[in-house]
Structure 1
Amino acid sequence: MKTFYQKLFALSFLILFVNIDLFAQTVEVETPVYKISGKVMESGSGEPVAYSAVSLIDVESGKTIAGAVADFDGEFIITNFTNGKYVVQVSFMGFEPFSSPTITVTDTNFDINLGNLSLSTDAVALQEVTVMGQRDLIEEKVDRTIYNAENDRTLVGGDAADVMRRVPMLSVDLDGNVSMRGSSNILVLINGKQSAIVASNVSEALKQIPAEEIKSIEVITSPSAKYDAEGTGGVINIVTKKNNLQGATLNINSSAGLRGSNLGLNASLKRGKMGWTLGGFGRAGYNILGSFENNQMVTGADGTVANIFQSADTRTNMMFGRYNFGWDYEINKFNFMTASVSFGLRNMQNRQDGLLTETFIEEELVNSLLRDVNTRNFSNNVDVNYNYTRTYEKPLKEFSISGLYSQNNLTNDFVNSLYNGTFDDILSRIKNNNLGRNQEFTIQLDYVTPIGDNKNQILEYGAKNILRRAESDFAYFTAEGSDGEFEKVDDINLSNEFSYDQNVTAAYASYMTNFLKDYSFKGGLRYEYTTINADFRNSEIDADIPSYGLLIPSVNLSRKLEKGNMIKAAYNRRVQRPFLNFLNPNINAANPQQITQGNPLLDPELTDNYEMSYSTYIKGSSLNFTTYFRNTTGSIQPVRTVTDNDVIYTTYENIGFERAYGFSVFSNINVSGKFSLNGSVDGYYADLTNGLDDPMFAASNQGFVISGRIFANYSLPKNWQIQSFAFARGRQVQLQGFAGGFGMYSLNLNKQFNENRGSIGFGAENFVTREMVIRNELNTPTIMQQGSNAMRNMNFKINFNYRIGKLSMDGPRRRKRGVTNDDIKEGGGDSGSGAIMNNN
């Protein structure tokens, strides 16, 4: 079998060979760039109408051929059209629609500037109310729901996890763990790509992405065959802000608060056919204090019941950074290249001060131990992307080839210091070093073409190969006193090296058509074949994992109703492969009473998803209702047992099933030109079982889970704006217990100045309650545990943002493609019962 590096070299050579061949084919005569530009202004005042929607309508067919959205200055540019007769239509809330005279585009008249287009206010509808337009925060598309994060000022100084708490159908706990409709088995992409850092730990990756750099969040609940089969709950795509304009600009954003500060610089330069971007962002978290308590009753093998009480104060400090460099080049009208390199780092330290463990047997105190625990969670990662796209004279026809190399280096260590019997001096220390590395190399080919001359029938097909290697080098050390030298523990179960090679080869085809005037159908089939090689370097442990193939179907059907309403139905099968945090055999014993170990022999889990949704519009407000059913077999679940010394031991197995029966409702309401309101409610009934017959290990649980959020935005005179947000998550049903619910809220006041180039504001988060307390419980035949985690997250902050330079709408917009690795289950390690979420 070829090694990982032999495969890496072979695929690198293939990419180089294919691109040399493709580039040789692109040397052709320069062709003109078709474009229509202009500026949307408010009639009378002459103020620009930012974010107005501009559409290019074919006169003969009446269909929309292309479109654009005006920028801050009301300027727009439309590309991607050919010769013909067109009408430009402009629309925006609170204004009467505008239609231009007929425009004739020919071989000699292909670059047209319409000048200033004036929109008149809709006086009847607004009754002399001053209009200050705002783009909708939530958009409903045929195959996805989009949250426009760039319009949410309350997010300044936050990260991607803060953004996702505002997105319908998503739930995020205090540690940044994301779930969609109650399922944490989701795929998270960044600009359509998955990097090694996302693969190893989604929650930590989200903390590295500043909220200010996020343009939107796309939630895809029923992915087509084009997407990797991974992610049983669906796909989340984080779209960052991009720039395809001409000129140079530098953006500075910063925030300073009681518990966190950040500073970001982003520059872009576009000259002719070539563009560059360079950016960096750093974020520090400090003064993050909290506490936890656990009360657990465990029954030993001899029937003895031990009552164990634990408590500690917690402190967290963190430092995150993300830096990127991007380049794009338009070879000619039909050929386009992009490349990018990004670096990220994470430095997080969690401390438990005075971890007190008291053990009682029949109300008699038999043991009392005091510890300090210091956990370090460091990482650095690099992503290198390349993409070549070729379009054709024939509309909608496109070919692309993409490559991705990603590496994430991980350090997850802890030191546990045990005090002597008088709690005066340190008696001994235990240290666990856990060094990990995740590598990915991916090549992807995609081809899209209409069938014949019929634009209503689209065929997509492609192929993909992912080479992935995960490594874990773990060891335990012991030392006497506070300054004794650490000595390695000679035990292959505690000190070993583990490697995990995975090769996923896939091919897909999908077909989309419109029929019977109002119906749309998209169906596809994807086949994935996976080979795995796992190895323990310092032992004879057999980790022979068989290869397997999966056939993944998907079907999406929609019907347009009157007045823009729509009904959709979908079915798809998804797969969730475990990754390093579930597989890692390192024993995590930071809290010696609750230890966790991964299982390298886990199989993937399979999920069937069924969904129906209805979208409607009432007086300018949108409503969406969705119902769904999700059935998962071979579910990866935690299995908890009690060891001889009354320690709770957690590992993972493919046992039982999960079923979820759910609904979601969300609405975006435009109360007036100044005030908008949106909110959502998500709920599902969860039914979980591990399918075991032995009463000592059999487990099942059922119950309803409800979550909700609301967001309000009000525009004040003189460029002031106030925004508020509130989120609540109900108690989560788990196989062996419940994770407590919690709520968060914020208020933000901002003022824009210098023609919207800069803004300054003040924000407050959770400003009424001193601390947030989450109560959890765990129940098995041998374990009863009740715990609480408290966090003091009241925060006040000052935000500042300023843009230097100006961009002009002079240059074509190109749709960029990239690699999308969607195929691994994130989590493990510290997952499981919420009752022990922060106790290790």
Structure 2
Amino acid sequence: MKFYLSSFLLLFSAFFSYSQVQSGYTIKGVVADSASKKSLDFVTISLKKENQPFKTTLSKTDGTFNFNQLSNANYSVAVVAVGYTSKSVSIDLKNAEQGVINLGKIYLATESKSLKEVAVNAQRPVIKQEVDRIAYDVQADVESKSLNVLDMMRKVPMLSLDGDDNIQLQGKSNYKILINGKPSSMVAKNPKDVLKAMPASSIQKIEVITTPPAKYDSEGLAGIINIITNKKIDNGYNGNVNLRENFPVGGPGGGMSFTVKQGKFGASGYGGIGVWKQPQQPSSSTRLTTDTLPSALLQNGSRSFKNQFGYIGTELSYEIDTLNLLTAEINLNKGNFNSDGNQLSRLNYLDNADRIIQGYNLESDSKQNWRGTDLSLNYQLGFKNKKDRLLTFSYKYSREGEGQNDNMNVSDCISCGLPSYTQANDGSSTEQTIQADYVHPVKKLNIEAGLKGILRNSKSDFEYSGLDSASGQYIIVPGLSNKYTNKQNILGAYNSYTYNLKDWGFKAGLRIEETIVNANFISTQSNVDQNYFNFIPSISVSRKFKNSMSVNTGFTQRIQRPNIYNLNPFVDRSNPNFQSGGNPNLDAVVNNNFQLGFSSFKKGSINLNLNYSFANNTIQRVSLYDPETRVTNSTYQNIGKDKSLGGNLSVNYPLTKNWNVNLGGNLQYAWLQGIINGELLKNEGLNGYLYGNTGYKIKQGFNLNASFSYGSPNVMLQGKSSSYFYTSVTVTKDIIKDKLSFSAGMNNPFTKYRNYNVTTAGSDFSQTNFSQMYWRSYRFNINYKFGKLQGDIKKNQRKINNDDSSGGGKSTSN
């Protein structure tokens, strides 16, 4: 009752405040280029009232703008555009007669030196549509002070989280995640755990690139998610520190980011540590088989886990002179994941529940650790006759490794013949990249070209050891152990063109890539060799209209190359009745993707995107039941044909100057088919995700935010997952304006636990895996900003972007 009463009072107060706005004054004008006298569109115009942020808007395609319903007060209009000197105009309406104040044409001069950062404190648009991507301005969202990056992704158009917090792009899990435009070992394996530990306050924006241009590597069937952390590097220093606590699920954590510049030297960085723990919660698995001896398997148990993670990254920049620039990057990360569980397993004949085929109790203690290093060096050369011509040489070295140790204690064994056992896997991957990029502008045409070579070397050493009852020692079982190496060399070249007119924008390009793979099973002395060549076209077209509206369309092909987690033949036997492993014989997949989008930016913003994609020979997770061993084995195979048709809608609208609403969702209808064990399987259905959030600014520095999201069941080739509903409320208080803030929030106040089911079916079996986790949680955050900046320095415009191996991380299930 208190919740509904508070909501009613909030709505009433907002309506009352809105109704009190006086109408009488209008400020209008036109923004134009001082040299060409042509109007400038999509320029940010900020209005301050009595030196306080009041409103913000964008100029229309004809350069016009206006602010209506203004009271008599002192105002100032700030006009800001990238590449131009900013301009401010003061207006005194205290003694003026009501009516229209026409500022006429406001001319902006081209910035002849580095553009200084202009602080615009008024409310700015959260979502921006570009020709080939959508950008979500995290810093424009007040909840960035209290949420982590994964929770922030619930608000980003085209992105969604399933019931197990796995990230999806337009309902698909085949994508690539970049950090600052580059791949990172930090998010290579399981990004959801890392992004839970990363505060959103350290993120500038999140880009969703659905039609990547040719300069990007071709990996990621659904597209690219680019998380931008680094801020502008300016004279002086600036930084942000965030401390947080989540309970009963989650834990303490902290993050920071900084920028500093002295003379020709500049640096930016970010880092953080975090703990994410889940108290003991129940889980279960059931399986019914219809073979010659039908059986029923029931497993009940519980599991707890604790994930600890730390990361740090920095970018160094030295401007030798106006034409020569050196940058270097260092990124380090390390983490561990520990879990404890117990399980009671009983396998009975279906027609006689009292007759036990197999039974055991299993106590598990699992430990995983991973670490990653990314080092890169870039040299950028400009040209005196045309500074926009750029030649860049880049080198990057990356290394990531992981170790897994599972100790499984078996007791009360009934006809199982299963001793206690251990399984260990030591895996690592190194990567070296050499790249050259050239940018050559010719009037309204921009030409880009580049060459690239990637040399990868991955290896895995896994052992399975069983307890010898006579000696009490664990002895390696050779047939269940192996050593494996995988070498993958990629040679690529691209050429792309960008052509801009007043109302039209065109991007087109072609990328060619050759991939050479050699896999070697050292223990079994067997090899797998692959060599394939791909032409990857891409094209994007945009058209601007009056009233800040635009339409964009595009087509591209994308490749999914299987990564080490898909290829590694290590078999996870932590659950003896459900085993899973990789497949070193996987081939690459080519996806065809068509996009059509509409955007409108006036008082609010509307973004609508329609898409259609299809691919053959897709990589599917396949589960087969073995009636002899009574084990369900899961792996990956190139068996699928996928088609999907859908769209995305997001609406961001300020109901008043203090009250903003954001609504949206993704809907995809998927058709899946594949041949499993000689049988053609088909499945189809709707994958959907809806979200909404609202923010209200209360007096004395308080902000109230509420959000919800709904995820429909996720359709898979052999089954589907359950739906879920998520809600959140956050209150933020600025203790020191634009410096120190405190936030408190609650997730899912109406639901204590979340139940998650994944059903899988084959020709002779059906199974359901169930897990429960705390859904209701509380969080507290302290966010502090410090420093002062002046004057921007340059950063390399072209860097290494190895977005070519399949992304989305590794999701696991029994």
Q: Deviations over 1:581-616 (max 9, x none)?
A: 110111111111110121101100111111212223
Give the whole-Å Cα distance in 1 for the aligned partners of 2:753 and 2:381: 54
Q: Which residue in 1 is equivalent to 2:38?
A: none
Alignment of 1:112-123 (within 5 A): none
Trace 1:540-555 onto structure 2 (pairs within 5 A): 540-543=525-528, 545-555=529-539
Distance 1:824 1:509, change over 3 A: same
Query: 3-state SS of the aligned residue for 1:581?
Result: helix
Change (3 A) 1:251 1:827: closer
Deviation at 1:44, TM superposition (A): 5.8
Select the residue among 765, 770, 773 that pairs with 2:755. 773
- Tell me how far apart the structure 2 counterparts of residues 448 and 90 of structure 1 sit (CA, whole Å): 38
TM-score (norm 1): 0.82
- 1:427 Cα shift? 9.0
The reply to whether residue 670 of structure 1 matches residue 640 of structure 2 is no
Deviations 1:427-486 (A, max 9, x none): 9421110111011111222212222xx22x111111111111111110011225899432
Paired position in structure 1 for 2:429: 438
| Aligned-partner Cα distance in 2 for 1:87–1:801 | 30
Secondary structure at 1:241 match in 2: coil
Find 1:295's aligned residue among 274, 286, 293.
286
Change (3 A) 1:789 1:483: farther
> Structure 2 vs 1, CA of residues 529 and 760 (structure 1 numbering), >3 Å: closer, same or farther?
same
Of 231-240 and 683-692, deviating more is 683-692
Whole-angstrom CA distance in 2 between matches of 1:470 and 1:434:
13
Confirm or deny that 1:608 pairs with 2:574. no
Q: Establish whether residue 822 from structure 1 lines up as the match of residue 813 from structure 2.
A: no
Distance in 1, matches of 2:459 and 2:496, equals 36
Q: Aligned partners of 1:103, 1:614: CA distance in 2, in Å?
A: 29
Does residue 473 of structure 1 match 2:461? yes
CA contact (8 A) 1:188 1:235 kept: yes
Cα pair distance change 1:811/1:653, threshold 3 Å: closer
Q: Give me the whole-angstrom Cα distance separating, in 2, the residues matched to 1:462 and 1:702.
A: 41
Residue of structure 2 in register with 1:646 after alignment: 630
Give 1:325's aligned residue: 314
The equivalences for 1:266-415 within 5 A come to: 266-300=257-291, 303-362=292-351, 363-366=353-356, 367-392=358-383, 394=386, 396-415=388-407
In 2, the alpha carbon distance for the partners of 1:101 and 1:75 equals 11
For 2:612 and 2:688, the matched residues in 1 are separated by: 16
Contact 1:461 1:508 in 2 (8 A): yes
| Aligned partners of 1:328 and 1:339 also within 8 Å | yes
Give the equivalent residue in structure 2 for 1:637.
Answer: 620
> Is the CA contact 1:525–1:551 (under 8 Å) kept in the aligned structure 2?
yes
Which residue of the partner structure matches residue 627 of structure 1? Answer: 610
Residues matched between the structures, number? 745
What secondary structure sits across from 1:275 in the alignment?
strand
Call closer, same or farther: CA 1:645–1:736 in 2, change over 3 Å.
same
Q: Is the 8 A contact 2:518 2:527 kept in 1?
A: no
Counterpart Cα distance in 2 of 1:335 and 1:668? 42
Q: Distance in 1 between matches of 2:359 and 2:414?
A: 10
Q: Classify the secondary structure of the residue corresponding to 1:230.
A: coil
Indicate if the aligned counterparts of 2:753 and 2:774 stay in contact, CA closer than 8 A: yes
**Contact conserved, 1:89 with 1:100, CA < 8 A, in 2?**
no
Quote how far apart the aligned CAs of 1:179 are: 1.8
Question: C-alpha separation between the residues in 2 aligned to 1:449 and 1:111?
Answer: 21
Please name the residue that 1:502 is paired with. Answer: 488
Separation in 2 of the partners of 1:232 and 1:717?
A: 46
Give 1:365 deviation, angstroms: 3.4
Letter in 2 for 1:431: T
Greater Cα offset, 478-487 or 136-145: 478-487
Q: Matched residues in 2 for 1:159 and 1:621: separation?
A: 25
In the alignment, residue 573 of structure 2 is paired with which amino acid? A
Q: Decide which moves more: 136-145 or 818-827.
A: 818-827
Tell me the equivalent position of 1:45. 50
Other structure's SS at 2:463 match: strand
**1:201-220, aligned counterparts within 5 Å?**
201-207=190-196, 209-220=198-209
Closer, same or farther in 2 for the Cα pair 1:572/1:250, shift >3 Å?
Answer: closer
Unmatched tracts of structure 2, length 5 or more = 1-43, 65-75, 91-99
Quick one: which amino acid aligns to residue 482 of structure 2? N
* Aligned residue in 2 for 1:66: none
Matched, 1:223 2:212: yes
Shift in CA distance, 648/206, structure 1 to aligned 2, threshold 3 Å: same
Instruction: Write the deviation string for residues 510-530 of structure 1: whole angstroms up to 9, x where unpaired.
Output: 112235x53322111110001
Give the structure 2 partner of residue 577 of structure 1.
561
Call closer, same or farther: CA 1:614–1:477 in 2, change over 3 Å: same
Letter in 1 for 2:729: L
| Equivalent in the alignment of 2:695 | 713
Equivalent-residue separation in structure 2 for 1:149 and 1:111 (angstroms)? 25
Say which SS state the counterpart of residue 547 (structure 2) adopts: helix
* Corresponding residue number in structure 2 for 1:124: none
Specify whether residues 204 and 252 from structure 1 end up closer, same or farther in structure 2 by C-alpha distance, changes over 3 A only. Answer: closer
Which deviates the most, 350-359 or 314-323?
350-359
- Equivalent residue of 2:792, what SS? coil
1 CA distance for matches of 2:185 and 2:755? 33
Contact 1:466–1:503 (8 Å) recurs in 2: yes
**Bigger shift: 176-185 or 132-141?**
132-141
1:74-153 equivalences under 5 Å are 88=87, 133-153=122-142
1:235 aligns with 2:235: no
> What are the superposed Cα offsets for residues 727-770 of structure 1, whole Å, 9 maximum, x if unpaired?
21100110001111112221111111223211112111112211
CA distance in 1, matches of 2:229, 2:801: 15
The one-letter code of the counterpart of 2:437 is: D
Match of 1:518 in 2: 503
Change (3 A) 1:75 1:808: farther
**CA distance 1:814–1:540, shift in 2 (3 Å):** closer
1:234 to partner: Cα distance: 0.7
CA 763–79 in structure 1, closer or farther in 2 if over 3 Å, else same: closer
Distance 1:184 1:410 in 2: 22
User: In structure 2, what is the equivalent of residue 459 of structure 1?
Assistant: 447
Q: Distance in 1 between matches of 2:434 and 2:89?
A: 41
AA matched with 1:285: W
AA paired with 1:662? G
Provide the identity percentage. 27
Alignment correspondent of 1:759: 741
Structure with the larger strand share: 2
Secondary structure of the residue aligned to 1:293 is: strand
Rate the CA distance shift 1:568–1:436 in 2: closer, same or farther, 3 A: same
Cα 1:435–1:460, aligned 2, differ >3 Å: closer, same or farther?
same
Structure 1, unpaired ranges of 5+? 1-38, 64-72, 120-131, 832-836
CA contact (8 A) 1:176 1:206 kept: no
- Distance in 1, matches of 2:378 and 2:89, equals 33
In structure 2, distance between residues paired with 1:402 and 1:666: 38
Shift in Å at residue 420 of structure 1?
Answer: 2.3
Give the one of 641, 656, 661 matched to 1:657: 641
2:28 — aligned with what?
none
Task: Choose from 227, 233, 244 the match for 1:244.
Answer: 233
**1:361-391 CA distance string (max 9 Å, x none):** 4233313321122222210111112222234
Alignment of 1:528 onto 2:519: no
Aligned residue for 1:487? 475
The one of 222, 243, 247 aligned to 1:254: 243
Using the alignment, how far apart are the partners of 1:372 and 1:96 within structure 2? 77
Amino acid of the residue matched to residue 245 of structure 2? A
RMSD value, Cα: 3.5
Cα offset, 1:563, TM superposition = 1.6
SS in 1 for 2:151: helix
**Structure 1 residue 559: Cα displacement:** 1.8
Alpha-carbon distance between aligned partners in 2 of 1:527 and 1:513, rounded to the nearest angstrom: 22
